[in-house]
Amino acid sequence: MIEILDLHKSFGPLEVLKGIDLRLEHGKVLVIIGPSGSGKTTLLRCFNLLETPDQGSLVLADVKMDFTAARKIPQKSILALRKKTGMVFQSYNLFPHMTALGNVMEGQVTVQKRSKAEARKRALELLSKVGLADKAESYPHQLSGGQQQRVAIARAMAVEPEVLLFDEPTSALDPELVGEVLKVIKALATEGMTMIIVTHEMKFAADVADTIILMDEGRILEQGTPQEVLEQPKSARARQFLNRLSGEEE
């Protein structure tokens, strides 16, 4: 289970998150949508402390943290939380000097201290799972953007996280490559992987989410099922945002 209460985050005088409360059960998928600058990515990065909240609390499985601006989180606590999360970025962030196989092995060997033989076996299983068994010895520059992102997903899964975090996983891809990445994420959802996804792909959000939150100006504007948020939004601001996405300006 994941729970955050009264989460706040500022960068200097700019308050980016203004008291976020949400809860996600194990095996469920939360999709975060909203206009640019609404705080979506900052919220996602708070889940693995790439950004440290100024106020509030976070529970992820058996790890609980309370935040205040005056208290520095111990590095040991940060690492304990990060071991429970896998992050997939917009820009893949693969090691260019390593093959696909090496990229998926790296975290297992350095963080989890697995043997190279064990890490290799797990990496090959995961590359097969994302449809890239035949690309194990290819370097990132030899792969398409969609293939690189699928390697990144395999790498995130390799450390067996409690939750996978996706920050706009298809935004850097050519349109014809988007589908192959979304297909992998949908398969993970079907298997019961807990995921938090920031995306602008509304059809994908509707297909994969158990819960959608729509953020605006650092707050949760709408929260509910895909049907409730995407088809029956309560606020005028939410309707305006969704209509703009569908090309139907109010």
Contact 170, 201 (CB under 8 A): yes
- Alpha helical stretches, state H, the chain: 40-46, 75-82, 100-110, 116-129, 145-158, 175-190, 202-208, 226, 236-245
- Supply the mean pLDDT for the chain: 92
For residue 5, the cross-strand partners are 57
Name the residue with higher pLDDT: 1 or 166.
166
Q: What's the number of CA atoms in the CB half-sphere (13 Å) around residue 235?
A: 11
**Residue 43's closest CA among 100, 4, 95, 86?**
4
The residue count for the chain: 250
Q: What is the pLDDT of residue 247?
A: 65
Task: Read off the amino acid at residue 173.
Answer: L
Q: What is the pLDDT of residue 70?
A: 72
Average pLDDT for 208-220: 96
pLDDT > 70: percent of the chain: 98
Q: What is the pLDDT of residue 145?
A: 93
**pLDDT bucket at 249, cuts 50 / 70 / 90:** very low
pLDDT digits (tens, 9 = 90+) for 140-174: 999 999 999 999 999 999 989 999 999 999 988 88
Q: Does pLDDT of 72 surpass 90?
A: no
**Residue 132's closest CA among 110, 155, 111, 116?**
155
Average pLDDT for 31-51: 95
Average pLDDT for 207-221: 96
Cα 78 vs. chain centroid, distance in angstroms?
17
- Alpha helical stretches, state H, 159-196: 175-190
Q: Both tokens of residue 110?
A: 């350095």
pLDDT digits (tens, 9 = 90+) for 93-115: 899 999 999 999 998 998 888 99
CA 91, 3, 241 angle in degrees (round to 5)?
55
Count CB neighbours of 226 within 10 A.
17
The residue assigned the tokens 């009264």 is 6
Q: Does pLDDT of 250 surpass 90?
A: no
Q: Does pLDDT of 2 surpass 60?
A: yes
Average pLDDT for 202-211: 93
Count CB neighbours of 222 within 10 A.
23
